[in-house]
Amino acid sequence: MSEPRIVIIGGVAAGPKTAARARRLAPNADITIIEKDRYISYAGCGMPFYLAGSVRGFEHLFTTSYGVARDETYFMREKGVKVLTGNEAVEIDRAGKEVVSKNISTGEVSRIPYDRLVIATGSTPFTPPLKGIDLKGVFRLNNPADAKMIKERIDDVSEAVVIGAGLIGMEAADALREKNIFVTVVELKDQILPGLLDRDMAAVMGLRLEEQGIEFRLGQKVMKIEGDGEGKVSAVVTGEETLDAQMVILAVGVKPNIDIAQKAGLKIGQTGAIEVNQQLQTSDPDIFAVGDCVENLHLVSGRKVYIPMATYANRHGRVAGDNATGRKSIFKGVLGTSVMKVLNWTAGKTGLGEQQARELGFKVVAVVNSALDRTHYHPSHGLVIMKMIVDQETRKILGAQGIGPGEVSKRIDVVATAIHFGATVDDLADVDLGYAPPFSSPIDLAHHTANIVRNKIEGLAPSLTAEEMKAKLDSGEDFVIVDVRTPQQFAPKHIEDDRVMQVTLGDIRERLDEIPKDKEIVLLCAMGVRSYEALRILHGAGFKDLKYMEGGLQAWPYDLD
C-alpha cells in the first residue's frame, strides 16, 4: 500500500504532534492540517506565566526550543506538512472520504480527500449565562489572543475577580497576584481546586494562599457582572455580596468540541466527548480523534472520563500518528495526574481521590503525612503535605495528592508510576529511590507516607484527620488532646481549648500519671512524627483509647491562637 493521505482537523498540541509523528514514519505521505485560527501550535500552558511576566515575550509561546516560530513555513520546511490556517472544517463526508473546508476570509469551499482522518478539535471554554459577560474587562484565558488582551490591560488593574477555582482559575489568580493585583476567587463549590484535591487538602492550601493575599469566596454563585457608565466592568455580584473588580477572568471549565464529529455520525461517549478505542479510533475505523475532544479510560476506576490535558493531547498525537500510518499502537488510559503552582505552593494529584474511591466501592485507607522534601539541615528544604489513598483489601495504591512549597511533583510522579504498574503500598515502600541531602531525605516522604499507610492497616497508628478532630472539639466531646511539642513551640501557635494539655515528648514517660487513662487521648505535634511516637509510648504504658492527628498542625486548616 502507498503512503496514506492524512488530514488533521485542528492544531495547537494534538494535531501538530500527530502530523510530526506521522511524517517521521511516512516520509512521503501527504499530510494536511486544517486550522481555523491564525495560531497553529502554541504553548497554552505557558499563558499564565506570560501574564505574570516570567515568559517575557508573546512570541515565546509560539517558538520551538531552538527559537524557530511554529508557523506555516516551519511546518512545511521542517515537517513537510501543509497547514491551512484561517480555514474551518465544516463537514466530514465519510462516504466520499473528504473533508469540506471553508476559508473564513473568502468563503471559498474546498474538498480535501483523505485515507486517514484525525479530529483534533479541542475544547471550548464554558460560558455561563451571566448578565454583563460582554463588558469591557471581562476575559477568558483559552488562547493566545485572550492572553494578549489581558496582558495589554493588566498593568492598569488594582482589583480583579476570577470566577472559578479550578486549574485555569487558580493559575490566573497566581498571575494577577504576581502583578500585585488584589484578587478574589469565586467558586460555586465549597473548596478550591475541586477537580484536583480532596476537601481536606484543598482547605489547607486555601488557608496558606489566603495568608499570602488571595481571597476566596467558596460556595458562592455569581449572579451577574456589573459595569460602569462607559461599558467597563466594575463589580461581580454573588448571591451574598458585591465584589469590586476592574478585571474579571472567567474560568469555569471547558467542553469538548464535538460538533463536526457529531454531524458526521461518529459515536459520542457517555462523558459528552468523542468515544475512541485504545488505538484512538472513532466508530469509523479510518477516523481517529485526539486531545481535548475525546474521552479516556481511567486506569484505576475502569470508567470513561473527560480530563482535557496537554500531556494527553501530546501522547495521543504520537499514538494517532503511528496508527494513521499503519502501525498498531495503543493509548492505555489515564490517571488524571497533574501538578500546578500558585504563589509559592504546588498542588498535585494522581489516581482517585478519597471520596471517588469510596463511591466506587473500594475499602479505603487514607492517610495525610506532613514531611520535609529533603533533609532538615539543607537550606532548600520545604514542606510537603502528602495524602495517599489505598485499597485495604488488595493494598493497591488508588491515588495520591500533594501540596506545599516543597518538591511535590517528584513524589506525585513516583506514585503515578507505581499506580500505573499496579503496585501495592508495600511495593512502593520498597522502591529504590535516589537520596542526597539536596534532593530528599534518607527515607523519602513518599516512602514515609507508604509506611504510615502500612502502620494504619496493621493497627499500629490509629488516627484522626484534622476535620474529624475539629468536629470532636465543636461537639463538646469529653476527650484530651496531648500536644507533645516543646513549650517554646506550643506558646505562639496552638489549639486554644481546655481539653488541650502540653506534655513534651521527651517528658512523657515521667508524666504518665498526669494523662487520664479513662478518656480518649489524641496526640498532636507539628507534623505527626512525634505524636505517633507518643502514641506508641502510651500504648506500651497501658493506655487503651489512643489516636494521633494525621499531618499534625501543618495539616490543620483552621484558625490557631
Residues serving a catalytic function are: 45
For residue 469, give Cα distances in angstroms to 461, 472, 481, 499, 534.
Answer: 16, 5, 9, 12, 18
3-state class (DSSP) for residue 119: strand
Phi/psi at 41 (nearest 5 deg)?
A: -145, 125
Report d(CA 67, CA 23) in Å as an integer: 21
Contact 184, 205 (CB under 8 A): no
DSSP string, 299-365: TTT-SEE----HHHHHHHHHHHHHHHTT-------B---EEEEETTEEEEEEE--HHHHHHTT--EE
Contact 157, 247 (CB under 8 A): yes
Q: Secondary structure of 446-514 in the HEC alphabet?
A: HHHHHHHHHHHHCCCCCEECHHHHHHHHHHCCCEEEEECCCHHHHCCCCCCCCCEEECCHHHCCCCHHH
Helices 409-420 and 445-457, interaxial angle, to 10°? 50
Report d(CA 531, CA 369) in Å as an integer: 12
Q: Which three cell numbers stand for residue 534?
A: 507518643
User: Kind of pairing, strands 138-140 and 247-250?
Assistant: parallel
3-state class (DSSP) for residue 123: strand
First-residue to last-residue Cα distance in the chain: 75
Contact 288, 276 (CB under 8 A): yes
3-state class (DSSP) for residue 19: helix
For residue 443, the number of C-alpha atoms closer than 13 Å in the C-beta half-sphere is 10
Contact 306, 271 (CB under 8 A): yes
Residue with cell 507508604: 450
User: Kind of pairing, strands 338-342 and 345-351?
Assistant: antiparallel
Residue with cell 478550591: 192
Best CA proximity match to 371, nearest among 396, 414, 324, 407:
407
Phi/psi at 26 (nearest 5 deg)?
A: -130, 80
Contact 311, 409 (CB under 8 A): no
What sign for the dihedral angle of Cα 492, 493, 498, 504?
negative
Taking residue 99's Cβ as centre, other Cβ atoms within 10 Å add up to 25
E strand or H helix at 25, and its extent? Answer: helix 14-25
